[in-house]
């Protein structure tokens, strides 16, 4: 039995799989609030006890770099080590993957109903693929063809310096630099980024924020869902929220286009993470593709690149696929 998990800054999803049923039919599955635990091992132990099952091997994807079997989680105060988890839980083997590497591993194997195409383009057979995933943070990865299969490669491209595309974005970068010093794309293009954009716009026009909404934001543990919901359901009544999503979608398009150029993703670009599936109407109104393809002499090339929104739990699916493949190989 394989235990696979998607370990994020906000939530941890664990599931048990057997080789016979495959990666899309877990024997058991549960979700946990990551911040309620001091590390991964207590969550896994609780899950196994609750499900009354045993596992021999594990594959976990984590939101942070994995180096030498050790993971440093970007948005959690955890350090996760393969050897320590294996010993603590009595497992035969534990594999840690960067979460974007797990999503990348799943991307070429997604079923049609597990993605939504927003630009059909003209994909090149076996061309490189790019993954950009705004969620709690911003993850990026890519895949290259080795002649037989795709190789998934992790990156920390979300922490590259934010590049403003116009004067208002330049003003926002200066505003955020006062708080963060270095302004990465993650500071703007993520769940926390949506809140940061809102703060910038509100600072410029505080009278545009309804007092009742300001009170709700002040009490919210996570402001991002409130901002997104208000923008989608009542944009006229919440102009700051509507402007926030407009700027977020433009920045996401800009950075997705940057990534597509850097890896020449002629096979396609996949928008993954927790945010894109919730913003499908905002991603399909033309603003995203306009920003994605606004690359001067390379605009035509970018308009030919397919763009898909991943609607499945791709990180967990990728961890399960990787773990089951490892079980078959061993």
Q: Is the pLDDT of residue 77 over 80?
A: yes
Question: Is the pLDDT higher at 53 or at 320?
Answer: 320
Mean pLDDT within 324-330:
87
Given a contact cutoff of 8 angstroms between Cβ atoms, the answer to whether 154 and 295 are in contact is no
Parallel, antiparallel, or unpaired: how do β-strands 57-62 and 2-7 relate? parallel
pLDDT at 159: 94
Reply yes or no on domain 2-104+314-329 having CATH 3.30.420.40.
Answer: yes
Q: Is the pLDDT of residue 308 over 90?
A: yes
Q: Hey, which CATH number is domain 115-311, 3.40.367.20, 2.60.34.10, 2.40.50.180, 1.10.10.10?
A: 3.40.367.20
Mean pLDDT within 277-295:
95
Distance separating alpha carbons of residues 132 and 119, to the nearest angstrom: 15
* Percent of the chain whose pLDDT exceeds 90: 84
Q: Is the pLDDT of residue 9 over 90?
A: no
Q: Is the pLDDT of residue 259 over 90?
A: yes
Given a contact cutoff of 8 angstroms between Cβ atoms, the answer to whether 126 and 309 are in contact is no
* Percent of the chain whose pLDDT exceeds 70: 100
Per-residue pLDDT of 11-50, as tens digits, reads: 899 999 998 889 999 999 999 999 899 899 999 999 999 9
Q: Is the pLDDT of residue 223 over 90?
A: yes
Q: Is the pLDDT of residue 58 over 80?
A: yes
Distance separating alpha carbons of residues 175 and 195, to the nearest angstrom: 13
DSSP structure class, residue 206: G
pLDDT at 122: 96
Q: Is the pLDDT of residue 74 over 80?
A: no
Mean pLDDT within 61-76:
86
Per-residue pLDDT of 131-144, as tens digits, reads: 999 988 899 999 99
The whole-chain average pLDDT of the chain stands at: 94
pLDDT at 261: 97
Per-residue pLDDT of 144-187, as tens digits, reads: 999 999 999 988 899 999 999 999 999 999 999 999 999 999 99
Cβ neighbors of 119 (< 8 A, separation 6 or more) are: 289, 292, 303, 305, 306, 307
pLDDT at 65: 84
Q: Is the pLDDT of residue 326 over 80?
A: yes
According to DSSP, the residues that pair with 161 across neighbouring strands are 184
Q: Is the pLDDT of residue 311 over 80?
A: yes
Q: Where are the domains of the chain?
A: 2-104+314-329, 115-311
Distance separating alpha carbons of residues 62 and 65, to the nearest angstrom: 8
Cβ neighbors of 143 (< 8 A, separation 6 or more) are: 104, 107, 108, 128, 129, 131, 150, 151, 152, 153, 267
């Amino acid at each position: 039995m394989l235990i696979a998990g998607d370990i994020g800054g906000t939530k941890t999803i664990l599931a048990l799989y057997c080789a016979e049923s495959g990666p899309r039919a877990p024997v058991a599955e549960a979700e946990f609030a990551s911040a309620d635990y001091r590390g991964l091992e207590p969550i896994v132990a609780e899950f196994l006890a609750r499900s009354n099952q045993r596992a021999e091997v594990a594959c976990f994807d984590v939101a942070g770099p994995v180096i030498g079997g050790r993971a440093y989680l970007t948005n959690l105060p955890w350090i996760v080590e393969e050897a320590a988890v294996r010993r603590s839980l009595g497992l035969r083997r534990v594999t840690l993957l960067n979460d974007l590497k797990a999503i990348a591993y799943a991307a070429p194997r997604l079923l049609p109903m597990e993605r939504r195409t927003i630009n059909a383009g003209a994909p090149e057979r076996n061309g490189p693929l790019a993954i950009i995933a705004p969620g709690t943070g911003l993850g990026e990865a890519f895949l290259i063809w080795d002649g037989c299969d795709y190789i998934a490669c992790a990156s920390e491209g979300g922490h590259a310096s934010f590049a403003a595309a116009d004067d208002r974005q330049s003003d926002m970068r200066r505003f955020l630099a006062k708080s963060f010093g270095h302004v990465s794309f993650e500071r703007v293009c993520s769940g926390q980024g949506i809140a940061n954009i809102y703060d910038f716009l509100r600072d410029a026009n505080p009278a545009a924020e309804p007092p009742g909404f300001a009170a709700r934001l002040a009490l919210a543990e996570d402001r991002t869902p409130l901002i997104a919901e208000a923008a989608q359901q009542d944009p006229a009544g919440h102009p700051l929220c509507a402007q926030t999503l407009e700027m977020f979608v433009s920045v996401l398009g800009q950075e997705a286009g940057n990534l597509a150029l850097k890896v020449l993703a002629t096979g396609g670009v996949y928008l993954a993470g927790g945010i894109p599936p919730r913003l499908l109407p905002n991603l399909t109104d033309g603003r995203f593709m306009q920003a994605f393809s606004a690359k001067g002499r390379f605009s035509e090339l970018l308009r030919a690149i397919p763009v898909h929104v991943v609607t499945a739990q791709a990180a967990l699916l990728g961890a399960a696929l990787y773990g089951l493949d490892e079980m078959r190989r061993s």
